[in-house]
Structure formats: structure tokens, C-alpha cells
Amino acid sequence: MLNIAVLVSGGGTNLQAIIDAIADGTIQNTRICLVLSNNDGVYALERAKKAGLESCVLSPRSFPSREAFNHALLQKVQESGADLVVLAGFLCVIPEEMVRAYENRILNIHPSLIPSFCGTGYYGLKVHEAALERGVKISGATVHFVDSGTDTGPILLQKAVEVQSDDTPKSLQRRIMEQAEWKILPQAIDLIAHGRVSVENRKVIVQ
Ligand code: GAR
């Protein structure tokens, strides 16, 4: 059984996709051992509650320093017994000590086809604003392992989505979620739960 800690910051639609995929068997052999949010009052926490999942809030603001928050975050995840950490719209920088402790065991979903529209400052709607500003005809989503850079880790899955001429950042975001994110994130977790994923020379191999 793969124990996963899901880290969230907002609406939690990707968390919901994971919960639903476990319930309907799309993700097998997996249990959510913790939902952790850096923001109190977000809908993701409501989703966790409705699904009967253990959840907690750790806000950087309630710690005396970033180091103290980073330490508490790692401790909480370790205490949960997680084998895999899933960043499902978690908008805090993952501390170096956590990257080391969970090497190739932290997954992130990013709402573009990396290496386009990624890195520092590219998150949430900003990604889609930048894609529309550049006029790309295809965007999509990427699931990758987290390393010490921002969106630079080994890529596990990607899915392309067409941009439409009348798209707004919000309409593009929604289509990318529906057609890509909510599919490839559960798929990636299931592949890992089946022991089919390894990383060699910073590249992902799927068996
Ligand atoms: C998702 O679109 C996710 O890809 C993005 O935040 C959104 C969270 O939505 N993540 C990033 O931009 C990370 N750089 P959700 O809370 O409804 O899952």
C-alpha cells in the first residue's frame, strides 16, 4: 500500500481527482494518509473533511521563521508515514531538507508543458495568462518529480491541450484541468503505486 501525503493551497480540484480515482479504482493500492494546507479556510480542506481524511493546516505566518515552518512541514509529513508527497496546487517552495529526505518521492502537477511557462513566478492563472500572451496554440499539464530547482525535476507524464481563439486565462485553466491535470496526476500516482516508475540520470523510466 502506497501512503500519500497531499499538499494543497486552494480549491483542491486535483485533490478531489485523487480522492475520486482512489474510490473508483483508477488509482489502486494507495491511501491518502494526510492532507496538508498552508492556508486555513480553503475549499481543499472541506474536500478532505467530506472524504473523511486526516488534514492539518501549517501556515508559514504562524511560525517565527521560515526555517521553523520548513522543519515543521517535514516533520508533519514524516509523522504521517507518507511514502510519496503529492503537491496538488501547493504554492509554497519545498524546503531543500524535504527534497533531500524525499528524493524522487515528491510529485508536482504544473499547468503547462514544461519547459514552457514554468519556473519562479509561474503558478496558477499566471501560467495561462503567459501562454495566451505568447499566443501558443497548444498548452497542457506536466507531472514531474521535485528537485531543488523550480519545475526542473524529472518529467513523468505530460498531456497536451488545445488553446482556443476565444480563451481567457480562466477558460484555458479549466480545460487544462479537465482534460489533462485531473487525468495525469491520478495516472502518475497509480504508476508509482504499481512500482512501475524509476529515475535514472534525471530521466523517468516507466515500465
Ligand atoms: C492547478 O492548476 C495546478 O496545476 C496549479 O495550481 C492549480 C491548483 O488547483 N499548480 C501550479 O501552478 C504549481 N506551479 P486546485 O487547488 O484546484 O487543484
Mutate to test the pocket of ligand 1, among 20, 118, 151, 177 (most ligand atoms within 8 A of CB): 177
Q: What is the CATH number of the domain that holds 104?
A: 3.40.50.170
Q: How many domains does the chain have?
A: 1
- Per residue in 13-60, pLDDT tens? 999 999 999 999 999 999 999 999 999 999 999 999 999 999 999 999
Nearest-angstrom CA–CA distance, 100 and 94 = 10
pTM of the predicted model, to two decimals? 0.97
Residue 129 lies in a domain: no
Nearest-angstrom CA–CA distance, 143 and 153 = 10
**110 CB under 6 A from ligand 1?**
yes
Residue 168 lies in a domain: no
Residue 132 lies in a domain: no
Residue 174 lies in a domain: no
Atom 7 of ligand 1 has which residue's CA nearest to it? Answer: 89
The pLDDT value recorded for residue 29 is: 98
99: containing domain? 2-109+143-158+180-206
112: nearest Cα among 95, 99, 129: 129
